[in-house]
Structure formats: C-alpha cells, structure tokens
Amino acid sequence: MASADAVISIRDLRKSFPTADGGRITVLHSVTFDVMRGETLVIMGGSGCGKSTLLNCLIGELPIDEGAILYRTNEMEEAVDVTGLREREFNNIRRRMGILFQSGALFNSMTLAENVALPLREHSYVEESIIDIVVTLKLQQVKMLAHRDKMPTQLSGGQKKRAGLARATALDPEILFYDEPSAGLDPVTSTAIDELIMDLSSKLQVTSVVVTHEMDSAFRIADRMVMLDKGRVLRIGPRSDFESIRDADPASLSTADDRLINQFLNGYSDGPLTDAEGMSEFEKLIIGTALSEDRTTA
Amino acid sequence: MSIQPAASESGEPAALRRAVEAIGATAGSAIDRTVQFVETVGGTVRLTGSALAWTVRGLFLPSVKLGRASLVEQMVRVGVRSIAIVMLVEAFIGSILALQLAPTLESYGQIQMIANVVAIAIVRELGPLITAIVLSGFAGASIAAEIGAMVESEEIKALRAHAINPIRFLIVPRFLATTMMIVGLAVIADVIGVLGGFLTSWLALGITPETYFESTRAALVIRDFITGLTKAGVFGGLIAMIACHAGMTVKGGAVGVGNATTSTVVKSIVAIIGMDAVFTAIFYAFGW
C-alpha cells in the first residue's frame, strides 16, 4: 500500500466540516500522496484550499472522515495508520515529530530556554545539566542563544519562529512540519528562516513538510511540491516540474490544471483561478453582472 | 389594474404570525440554551473525570509526571495571593452577623448566644461559602483567562503536538492547587470570621472575651469543621474545573476569552451555591 521509502503516506483522505445551516462542507476530497524520507515537500495552494486542514489532520489535531494517514518512522517495522489511533499510541509517533506553528506558539509563561527544555524534561529522564547543554545547542543552531532568558512576548515575529524551531527540534525529530514559516515576515527574515529550514534538513537529515503560499520561499526550499486547489491535489512533482510550468506561456499549456498552477505560481490576476467556474456564487453574481454590463456598453 | 393588499399585511394574520414567530424564537433559544447548558455540564464533568484519572495515575505511576514545580506555582497563585482578601471579607462577615443578630437575641435576653450563632454560621457555612465566592472571582477568572489565551495562541495545540497531555500538564496542577488551597483558606476564614464577630461583640455589644470564647468553644464540635472544610474542598474543585472547561472551550479571539472569564465567575457562583444546598440537605438528612 505505502511505498517503501515513504515516511508519511496519505491515502484517499476526506475531511468535511459542519456548516452553520446544518449541512457539511467538504474541505479535502480524496487527497493521496507520499512524503519520502529525507525530502522537503512543500504543500501550496491559495487561501481556503485546505492546506492548513491537511496539516492539522497530519498532526492528529483534527480527526478525518475517510481514508488513511500512515506513518513509518525509523524504528517502525511497518507503516502504522494513525486514524483512530489512541492518543497514547499517537504520542509515540508525535515524539518523532517537530512542528513549527505559524505564530511560533511558544509558551508565554516560560523563558525561551524553558520552552526548548520542556519537551526534554517531559519525555526524557536526563539530568538538568545535560538538558542545559542541549538547550544551548538548539538555541545556537537557530542563532537565538543571546535571548535564552527572554520571555516570548519580548521577541519579534521572526525571533519567535526561530525559537519555535529550536523547540520543535529539541528531541531531534525525524519529521518537521512547518505551518506558513515565512508568513508575516519581511523578505530578509523570511530568507533567513528558509536558509535555516534547509540547514536543518541537511544537518539533521529530517523529512520536512512545509505548508506555504509564499512562492519565493517554496521554490527555495522544496525538493518536491504539491499543489492543492479546492481540497484536491492538482499536481505533485519535483520542483523542476513546477518551475517549467511557472516559466511557460499560459497559452502553451495543454491542461486547465497546468494553466491554473501557472497562474497561481506567477500570481496573475487573470486565469482559470479567477474564471467564473472557480468562483463562489457571490463572486459570480458580482463579476457576472459587471461583465454583462461591459458587453451591453460595447 | 388595482393592486390588492396582500392578505398577510391586513391586521390579524400578521399579528398572529408575529406572535407565533416570537413564541417560536423564544422556544428555539430556550432549546439552544438547554443544549448549551447540558454540553457545558457534560464537558465539565468529563474534564473532571480525566483530571481525576490523571491525578490517580500521577500518584501511583512513577512514569507519569505531575510537575511539582507547577503545582507549587499554582498554589501560590491561587492561595497565597488571596489570603488578604479572604481575611478582610470574612472579618466583615463575622462583624455583620454579630450586629444583625444582636437586636433579636437581646429581645430574648440571650445576647451571649451571639457567639454560638456566629461560630456555627461561620464554620459550617459562611467560611467555606464566602471563601469560594472570593476565589471564583480571584482564581477562577484568572485560570479561565489564562487557559483561554493559551488556546487562542495555539499553545494547547503545541503541547499536544509535543505529545504533552494538556489535561495532565495544565489542568491537574490547577485543580489540585485550588482544591487544596481553598481548604487552607477556609480554615483562615473560619478563624478570622469568629474573630470579627468577637471584636464586634466585645467592643460594640459589651460581651466579655471570656463569655464569648467559652460559648464559641461549647457551640462547636469537630463535625462542624469537617462538614465545612469538605464543602470548601468540593467548591474549590468546582471552581477549578468550571474555569478550566471555560478556558479550554474558548472560541473567537479576545472576545471569547473575555466571555469565558465572565461566564466562569457566574457559573462558579451558581454551582457553588447549588452544591452548598445539596450538601446542606445531605448533612441535615444524616443529622451531621
């Protein structure tokens, strides 16, 4: 079922949410792909395409409706389906993961050093002196050692993300998840975070899953990329595939999906993403009226 | 072509429809509130169940860490910081009781009975109750706000992502700290309440210290302390769990945190007084 070298295998994942009027809205339709050992996979897509939901499903924060999510970490004989797995068993897998949240999600009542030390204190029985060394190393790795005794509220957004990254790597994870690592950061800080991600993935040999809609950052760090649109996987492939679609002339692309990806990657305002079929009822109503007015005046 | 007025716009049917709609809306919101109430109570009970389960596991399994440091931190926060307020309020309560009782007891020629009534009322009832009400504003509100803010800033999600159970890590220390500290606070409240009654009786009503303390000693039995302090412990648990549940279920940003704080105080006070009535009925039935 799952490929031999896949760390995470997602199979026919479906997730829906209840709506206010009593119905259900499906956010992810039959999503299937693998994340290979040691690679950096970037999940892209516009706002509301389901990429954050997908991430939350992967880390066990949201239960899924149908399908399977299989994990196979180094010590596992075979892949384990985590859907419906008990919290305590899932926690064994979570100990092999690190997650960098969008806001950093540092514990505000603790200093940076305590934040980084927490996973170590909770999940190991090492002495405080050793914890102190590990904390120093991890903070050094993200160039935040100077701030070790500061509280999270005293830090800037970029510093919080660096510190969050130090905490996420405290237990030397095999898999690192990044939720919008460069969102809300200036270009220089954003590049620095990207470099840090690449640096960590080469030094620690981790498998990285990055959810983002910042294209510059995505093309810098990705080995492979996944494009999601309206809860479906449009395309998955190596970075070079996406680069060639990005650089192609929209008219020369044969499929609608490729034209859509081309539009997204280049950030064009015209294209299949903004055509009537991709719009909500409300948008059709507004823009449809404008178009017909245009025609009558012409 | 003349336009006929629509039937529904002509007086009676419209008024009738509005009335039916109003009744329907009231019934609908009543149902919503009932559902909400049942959800809150059910959620709080479930949360309490898992907090108790983690406490037991923490006591008997060496592999489960309960975090002594965080327990002490919470005890200081819940208990030590509210001592002064509890003392102040309870001194007033003792004094008020003595002054309110004085005219009635005097008319029966039983003014020295003030000590008995104050002692029983404070130790069995007002010591634990007033302490709990002060704590619901003091500790309950701050616990709800703190946990609510942690939910909003993804801290709870981060805990889970690090395979750290938020119930064990956050809720158990708050639950234990509030339950333990409120018992200690109730003891202080009892002493200060009786002293407040004594000072008023001595200075304003002319009862001698010997008479007052002799009556107090004669009036109180160990059972009074046990029932009072048991209630206090339960009230403490109620406050902590209502606050934690409100915090954990926060939705909608800063406004949600504000709502959780307010609703914690209201729900705690209602729950405390309701629970007090249950306890009093039970103690009365068994003659305790």
pTM above 0.95, yes or no: no
Q: In chain A, where does DSSP find H-type helix? A: 51-58, 87-94, 112-123, 128-141, 157-168, 187-204, 215-221, 239-247, 256-266, 281-297
Mean pLDDT per 10-residue segment, chain A (298 residues): 75 88 87 91 86 89 89 85 85 89 88 91 87 91 89 90 90 90 84 87 87 88 90 89 86 83 83 63 60 50
Q: What long-range pairs does A87-95 form, CB within 8 A, spacing at least 24?
A: A87/B165, A90/A60, A91/B163, A91/B165, A92/B163, A94/A59, A94/A60, A94/B160, A94/B161, A94/B162, A94/B163, A95/A123, A95/A171, A95/B163
Facing residue for A101 by CB, picked from B154, B164, B169? B154
Contact list in B for residue A138 (CB cut-off 8 A) is none
Interface check A107 vs B, CB under 8 A: yes
Q: What's the average model confidence in pLDDT over B144-155?
A: 92
What is the reported pLDDT for A192? Answer: 85
Interface check B40 vs A, CB under 8 A: no
* Cα of B153 to nearest chain A Cα, Å: 6
Write out pLDDT tens, residues B54-96: 988 888 887 777 777 888 989 998 888 889 999 999 999 999 9
- Class of residue B171 by CB neighbours under 10 A (exposed 0-12, middle 13-18, buried 19+): buried
Facing residue for B155 by CB, picked from A59, A60, A105? A105
Tokens read off for B97: 């009781």
What is the reported pLDDT for A135? Answer: 93
Average model confidence (pLDDT) across chain B: 90
What is the reported pLDDT for A184? Answer: 78
DSSP state at residue A174: S
* Cα of B82 to nearest chain A Cα, Å: 21
Q: Do B155 and A102 touch (CB under 8 A)?
A: no
Q: What's the average model confidence in pLDDT over B151-179?
A: 91
| Tokens 């003349």 -> residue | B2
Contact B146, B74 (CB under 8 A): no
Pairing status of strand A6-18 against strand A24-36: antiparallel
Contact list in B for residue A123 (CB cut-off 8 A) is 162-163
At B96, which helix (H) or strand (E)? Answer: helix B83-107
Q: Do B153 and A59 touch (CB under 8 A)?
A: no
Interface test with A, best of B162, B167, B172, B251 (most A CBs within 10 A): B162
Question: Which residues neighbour B253 within 8 Å (Cβ) at sequence distance 6 or greater?
Answer: B152
* A294-298, B10-14, B250-254: range with lowest mean pLDDT: A294-298
Question: ipTM score of the complex?
Answer: 0.80
The conformational region for residue A211 under phi > 0 = left, psi -120 to 50 = alpha, else beta, is beta
Interface check A118 vs B, CB under 8 A: yes
What residues form DSSP beta bridges with A233?
Answer: A228
Q: What percent of chain B has pLDDT over 90?
A: 65
Interface check B65 vs A, CB under 8 A: yes
pLDDT band at B278 (very low <50, low <70, confident <90, very high): very high
Interface check B155 vs A, CB under 8 A: yes
Residue of chain B minimizing CA distance to A94? B163
Q: Do B153 and A103 touch (CB under 8 A)?
A: yes
pLDDT at B8 over 50: no
Interface check B266 vs A, CB under 8 A: no
Q: Do B157 and A61 touch (CB under 8 A)?
A: yes
What is the reported pLDDT for A298? Answer: 43
Tokens read off for A247: 């650089």
Interface check B164 vs A, CB under 8 A: yes
Tokens read off for B161: 């992502």
- Closest C-alpha among A161, A100, A111, A170 to residue A135: A170
* Cα of B151 to nearest chain A Cα, Å: 10
How many C-beta atoms lie closer than 10 Å to residue B78's C-beta?
28
Contact list in A for residue B149 (CB cut-off 8 A) is 108
Q: B96 phi and psi, to 5 degrees?
A: -60, -45
At A236, which helix (H) or strand (E)? Answer: strand A232-238
Contact list in B for residue A87 (CB cut-off 8 A) is 165
Interface check A17 vs B, CB under 8 A: no
Interface check A61 vs B, CB under 8 A: yes
Question: Which residues neighbour B170 within 8 Å (Cβ) at sequence distance 6 or greater?
Answer: B147, B150, B156, B159, B244
What is the reported pLDDT for A142? Answer: 85
Facing residue for A103 by CB, picked from B149, B154, B160? B154
| Tokens 């620690």 -> residue | A204
pLDDT at B124 over 90: yes
* Cα of B160 to nearest chain A Cα, Å: 8
Q: Do A122 and B162 touch (CB under 8 A)?
A: yes
| Tokens 């309950």 -> residue | B140
Interface check A101 vs B, CB under 8 A: yes
What is the reported pLDDT for A202? Answer: 85
- Read off the amino acid at residue A237: G
- Read off the amino acid at residue B160: R
Interface check B217 vs A, CB under 8 A: no
The ranges assigned to domains in chain B are 67-285
Interface check A89 vs B, CB under 8 A: no
Q: Do B160 and A97 touch (CB under 8 A)?
A: no
